[in-house]
Amino acid sequence: MAAYKGHKMNPKSFEKGQIKIYLLILPMVLLTGLPIVFIFFHAFKPMEELFAFPPKFITTHPTLDNFRALIKASRSAGIPLSKYVFNSILITGAVVFGSLLFSTMAAYALSKLRFKGRNTMMRVNQIALMFVSVAVMIPRYLVINKLGLIDTYWAEILPLIALPVGLFLVKQFVDQVPDSLIEAAYMDGAKEWTIYRKVILPLIRPGIATAAILVFQQVWTNLETSNYYINNESLKSLAFYMNTLAGATSNTVAGQGVAAAASLIMFLPNLILFCILQKNVMNTMAYSGIK
């Protein structure tokens, strides 16, 4: 105990002993935070600052011209920007909800229920983690085409609902739920659905929040479904439109500003979602009430 004399854990005011901690953390904060700051300032730079040399990190004369050019470009294409936003919100919301629903239910079944083929199913999910989307592009297209889902919202929703990494992550949290809680619920007369809703889900919130961010990031920035399964321009996602617009205008002077504005619009929802869920993401099972 003598070694800790005079030392305070989590002091309320600044102490000299904290300097070494700041020196360790500050470089990491700068490496992760400065690119985010640059994305924000870059989107509001006027043309002369976009092409300034040496490049300016912080804009001195912020403007909304880049966003106006982006909206003008979408109007000239014949389909308003709001339609692409609606498509992405609909697709992303449906995929996140469906993916979390099936991942949590499957994780509960694979972790706590006993049935034939359980281990085989889990191995199949682990094998799926090794495959990139390009490897299954052709068979996935054949399935979508056979089901008659080409040029429908379902073609952009169903292929993305099954997220192997989401199931794997959530199952690790369900594994930490004590079996004694499940047995106590059975003794009280609870059925599987009740145990899933009132026992499992409240205790794995950190895992659900982390999985939600992973699913959202994958769907919000996804280009493949709109590119491969959708021919109707009015059904394409915002990510596909932004990528197409940025590519088409990248060789023009005005296009650099449009690309900067598009990058901020695509990045902002990810940042907002993380800020909302960060408390749950940072929590571990030790802080979720499980002993």
Q: What is the largest CA-CA distance in the chain?
A: 75
Rounded CA-CA distance 108/117 in Å is 15
Q: Which domains can be identified in the chain, with CATH numbers?
A: 20-63 (no CATH), 77-287 (1.10.3720.10)
Q: Are 106 and 167 in contact (CB under 8 A)?
A: yes
- pTM (predicted TM-score): 0.79
- Using alpha carbons only, give the angle 44, 50, 52 rounded to the nearest 5 degrees: 135
Q: Which amino acid does the sequence have at 180?
A: S
Going residue by residue through the chain (291 aa), what tens digit of pLDDT does each one get?
444 445 555 566 666 777 777 788 888 888 888 888 888 888 888 877 777 777 777 888 888 888 888 877 777 767 788 888 899 999 999 999 999 999 999 999 988 888 888 888 888 888 888 877 777 888 888 999 999 999 999 999 988 888 888 888 898 889 888 888 888 888 888 888 899 988 899 888 888 888 898 899 889 988 888 888 988 888 888 888 888 776 665 556 556 777 888 888 888 888 888 888 777 666 544 444 444
